[in-house]
Amino acid sequence: MILPYLNPSLPTQQRIDDLVERMTLDEKIGQLNQIFATPESEERDKEMIRQGQVGSRILAFSAHAGNDETEADAYTPLWEFQRIAVEESRLGIPLIFGRDVIHGHLTVYPIPLAQAASWDIELVEAAAKATASEAVSDFVHWTFAPMLDIARDPRWGRVIEGSGEDPYLCSQMAKAQIRGFQGEDTSAPGSMVACAKHFVGYGAVEGGRDYNTIEVTENTLRNTYLPPFKAAVDAGVGTIMCAFNDWNGIPCSANGYLLNTILRNEWGFDGYVISDWDSIKGMVEHGSVEDAAVAGQHAIQAGVDMEMPGHCFATHLRQQVAEGTVSEATVDQAVRRILRIKFMAGLFEEPFVKVRKQQPKGLKSEHRQLARKLAAESMVLLKNNEDALPLANDDNCTICLIGPLIHARRELLGNWTLDGRPEDTVTIAEGLAQLRPDLKIAPADAAVDAQIRLARKSDQVILVVGEDHFRNGENANIADITLPAGQAQLIDAIHAIGKPIILVVCSGRPLVLTDIEPKVDAILWAWHPGSEGGNAIADILSGNVNPSGKLPITFPRATGQIPIYYNYKNTCRPVDDYYGEDSRYQDQVGKPMYRFGFGLSYTHFEYSNFTLDRSQMLTDECITASIQIKNTGKASGFEVVQCYLRDVVASTIRPVRELKGFQRIHLKSGESKTVQFSFSESDLAFYGADNQQRTEPGEFQLWIGPDSSATIGGKFYFKQSKDSNIATERQACLNPDPSFC
């Protein structure tokens, strides 16, 4: 007879109910316990699994896996661990194995911030799908991605893991990655459970210092930091990871308002919440609780279901249930959520996967092609003086390749690359040598003086600079976002000898280029581009691929401008100039170096014939904006057409403009297309002073263009009914009594 919880023909809820009824309290607490294993702890861990004291294992050996240079084989012995869980524990509940599979597994794709620069939703989804297919064959069921933290301070090292400064773009990337990781059926071969992190506000840490406190109002929380997580929940994400930081003085690991009131009650999230690494015990260091026992009690009552390596639940929950300080019903609720995801992932039907016995000799060709395409689409051309790029096909023009990163492999992969192998990485020198056999390449051991001599003998210089892969990532913050030591001096030296410079920058964050930009003829921002980075850079520089990347985050002129972002709120001293020139520093202009959404192409696009299909929009109606885009240059190319809105007068101050839509279109030379954006009442909505979502009547401005400084547009008015008066409607919304709205 098949036990009900093992019968796949029964409804999942019935299987969960049956299993929970059979579990002892110790087995329930075991499901809440995630461990990390080392060779020294292997036998102890196996015995804990036999006793039903483990629900999950994280495939990492420290809290700093992304920056751990000495990490051992995290996969040993997974098959045996799972066999013991299924065959030797009393109830045979499978383990769920989680790993930080952030931007690729064996095949490494560009860092997430770079992927956002592609603005290519379908390609980002395809990369996540390919990543999942590789990871599950290494027994990874669950990835701690995507990271959905809005980040407006590039000093913060973890800016590389997210999609930048904008809630709308981040939300679109979140949905794409979740669809890619989980697929339509998370139990299907090649699919894995996703985890949206870090809930919430982590990207706003003070001074860009990791783990720091944040100061975010609920208005900003709901309108800026929460939307990507809401998009993730709507996309069906299986799990959520809470953040290290506090919000309103309460650590996120025990913030019931965030985890229960908003996440579960308002949004209907039915997956499980996992803490960040030892973040529950971290409440003791926060000073919000006196010891680990109370920390665990607060966390589970607030809605945390599983503890990422730590011992608060495993050590103290049994006694707390016995004493009545934590109810067994609360434990049961957490267990049910965890079991639901294990059933959703198909682990009860297929606890084992066909694990690769040996690493393959090479990456799959289709994954390499995908990585190369995404890397090229992610790169942003920031400057191209007098068409310095693409490189000219001129036998009389000698070109040299110099710089500290031209032979780099590991550095191109970027941070949070746990399984990608440097030997699988195409260097920039290798990629360019294939397309330009006549290229003069500085040897790997060439001194700076030797590189300068090579530049002196050449007509044009390709100079590659940037960051080491460990200069960003978790707790890898920098106080001054300039190039690493010595690189600006190298640029100065090449500039001093009068050679044209094509500057390629590999980086995990925006950097200040104010003093450098005038000295170079072209700038290609290549990010950390992944396994196929060298080939993708060669594709762009040679002109085989026309650059189409657009910045997902603002580049400041100086570190002191931070935070700087396009969707700021207007002040009581407004000016016409975008980016609030009246609110500037004495020693610096107010505008950024490169604005959000900016990126050049090898061709030119002309915007014209803007129209709105109506001047007034009523409830239950839509308004459609149209514009014609024409490729007026000689090359075919992609353009990312961006649409921004502004609510001119509202009961709480709204941003000067907000991204509300974008389309990535391809145009041949001379070709034109009409692009349309349609918006309903919900697209105009925001959270007001009463923390309720609303759409208020009044004037809205709309712009369409190539970046956040778009100037072509118009205005329309939103009314709740045909015969209503806008002023009266707005006055109702401004009334102190929230019931008026």
Report the alpha-carbon distance of residue 440 to residue 462 in Å, rounded.
Answer: 10
C-alpha 21/C-alpha 24 separation (Å) is 8
Strands 460-466 and 501-506: parallel
Q: How far apart are CA 547 and CA 602, in angstroms?
A: 7
DSSP state at residue 252: G
Rg over alpha carbons for the chain, rounded to the nearest Å, is: 27
Query: Smallest Cα–Cα separation from 18: which of 348, 246, 366, 319?
Result: 348
CA distance 679 to 624: 6
276 included as an active-site residue: yes
Q: For residue 145, how far is the Cα from the chain centroid?
A: 8
SS3 639: strand
Distance CA 199, CA 201 (A): 7
For tokens 């990369």, the residue is: 127
Say if CB 719 and CB 620 are below 8 A apart.
Answer: no
Q: Where are the beta strands (DSSP E) in 170-226?
A: 195-199
Among 80, 98, 84, which Cα is nearest to 309's?
98
Pairing mode, if any, of strands 686-687 and 693-694? antiparallel
Segments of 154-235 assigned E as strands:
195-199
Spatial separation of the C-alpha atoms in residues 236 and 176, rounded to whole Å: 11
d(CA 685, CA 703): 17
Cis peptide before 146 (omega within 30 of 0): yes
CA distance 405 to 446: 12
Residue 389 near residue 75 (C-beta atoms within 8 A): no
Structure token pair of residue 469: 């892969």
Handedness of CA 201, 203, 207, 211 (dihedral sign): positive
Query: DSSP letters along 324-379, please?
Result: TSS-HHHHHHHHHHHHHHHHHTTTTT-------SS--SS--HHHHHHHHHHHHHH-
Residue that has been written with the tokens 């690729």 in this structure = 104
Work out the burial of residue 375: count CB atoms within 10 Å of its CB; fewer than 13 is exposed, 13-18 middle, 19 or more buried. buried
Which tokens go with 101?
């599979």
Instruction: With H, G, I as helix, E, B as strand and everything else as coil, classify residue 465.
Output: strand
Amino acid at 614: R
Active-site residue identified among 276, 278, 521, 647: 276
Contact in structure between 245 and 213 (CB atoms under 8 Å)? yes
Where are any strands of DSSP class E within 583-636? Answer: 605-612, 616-618, 623-631
CA distance 536 to 12: 46
Contact by Cβ (8 Å): 416, 102: yes
316, 326 contact by CB (below 8 A): no
Task: State the catalytic residues.
Answer: 276
